Amino acid sequence: MAIDLNRKPRLAAGCRLGENNQQRVLLMPERALRLNGPSLEIVQRCDGKHTVAQIVADLQKLYSKAEPRKVESDILGYLELLQKDRALDFVA
């Protein structure tokens, strides 16, 4: 499932950020994902306001020492994973 760079991901109903013992987590029905570093930066931007392209640009700035193409492909891969888990909706 390809991720469209122009669309705006947001967390699906039933999915939200949570925290326990200083560990940020993505809470969803019957499961939870630990969020660290880049995964937290990505999920925090899945707010229905940032396009995928903006998230990519933000993280390329944040992780400026990393290869930009690699940052982009990592982000797309992670968003695809979240979409497969049904944790995201995409708004136009």
Partner 1 sequence: MNSTSHHPLALVCELTHRCPLHCVYCSNPRELAARSGELDTSTWNSVFAQAAELGVLQADFTGGEPLARTDIVDLVRAARRAGLYVSLITSGLPLDEAKLDALVSAGLDHFQLSLQAATENIAEEISATKTHAQKLRVLDWLKSRRVGVTLNFVLHRRNLHQMDEMLALAENSSATRVEFANVQYYGWAFANRALLLPSRQQLDEFMAKVKSAEEGLRGKIRVEYVVPDYYAKYPKPCMGGWGRKVILIAPDGSALPCHAAGVIPGMHFENVKEKSLREIWNSSEAFQKFRGESWMQEPCKSCDRRAQDFGGCRCQALLLAGNAAATDPVCSLSANRAKVDAILESLPPPAAAAAPLFLYRANPN
Residue from the set 13, 36, 65, 69 that interacts with partner 1 by CB under 8 A: 13
Task: Assess 67 for contact with partner 1 (CB under 8 A).
Answer: no
Stretch that binds partner 1, among 26-34, 41-49, 59-67, 70-78 (CB under 8 A): 26-34
What contacts 18, CB < 8 A, 6 or more positions away?
A: 24, 25, 26, 27, 32
Sign of the Cα torsion 18, 84, 90, 14 reads negative
Cα–Cα nearest to 46, from 10, 3, 16: 10
Residue from the set 4, 6, 18, 62 that interacts with partner 1 by CB under 8 A: 18
Residue from the set 6, 34, 81, 91 that interacts with partner 1 by CB under 8 A: 34
Closest approach, Cβ 32 to partner 1, in A, equals 5
For residues 83 and 22, give the distance between their C-alpha atoms in angstroms, rounded to a whole number: 26
Closest approach, Cβ 20 to partner 1, in A, equals 6
The letter for the amino acid at 20 is N
